[in-house]
Amino acid sequence: MKKSSKDAIALLKADHRQVEKWFKEFDKARVASRKKKLATQICGALRVHTTIEEEIFYPAFLAATKDLDLHHEAEVEHDGAKKLIATIESSGPEDEYYGARVTVLSEMIKHHVKEEEQPGGMFAEARKSEMDLAELGAQLAARKAELEAESDDDDMSPPPGGRKERSHVGRLMKGTR
């Protein structure tokens, strides 16, 4: 497997910084179409990020540290975020609660990121453990690319029934890679 230029934590932190940037842009946006585009980018990126954490990073973290408390809290926070993401994706700026939902998602993610990145948080504990963060980084990067490619494929063809119901995350995210 090709070596990743980023270890697992650097890759996950880079995702955090990108989403934070988009949340700030969403707050400043005044045009509904821009808000929709940013919310779509945010939700798509968070869906990919939570998937790679849950499939690869969290199991490795739990195996290496046996820290059930940090692991379980992170998983529960992901569950809450995923529910809100689904609600945001199924609506749009015409929904009077749309902006509030994106704001609450931003607050949830800020809290989650702070807990992962703080001293004594999941990332600090992972660094102290025997985890091979370089190898995990390569695995995370590969899975992330796979999920983004799947998103690109999904966005190119309409679902059965002919109507496009999925977001254009893949196409929007191409400019961010």
Q: What is the pLDDT of residues 33-76, one digit of tens each?
A: 999 999 999 999 999 999 999 999 999 999 999 999 999 999 99
pLDDT of amino acid 33 = 95
Mean pLDDT (whole number) for 81-101: 97
Contact 39, 26 (CB under 8 A): yes
The count of other CB atoms within 10 Å of the CB of residue 103 is: 13
The DSSP 8-state label assigned to residue 7 in this structure reads -
Mean pLDDT of the chain: 87
Q: Per the structure block, which two tokens stand in for 26?
A: 């969403």
Name which of 52, 64, 74 is nearest 138 in CA terms. 52
**Roughly what angle, to the nearest 10 degrees, separates helices 98-117 and 68-89?**
160
The whole-model pTM stands at: 0.83
pLDDT of amino acid 6 = 87
pLDDT tens for each residue of 134-168:
999 999 999 999 999 988 766 544 443 333 333 33
Q: Per the structure block, which two tokens stand in for 105?
A: 């998602």
Burial tier of 73 (Cβ tally within 10 Å: 0-12, 13-18, 19+): middle
Mean pLDDT (whole number) for 17-42: 97
pLDDT of amino acid 154 = 63
Mean pLDDT (whole number) for 3-19: 88
Name which of 19, 56, 76, 38 is nearest 168 in CA terms. 38
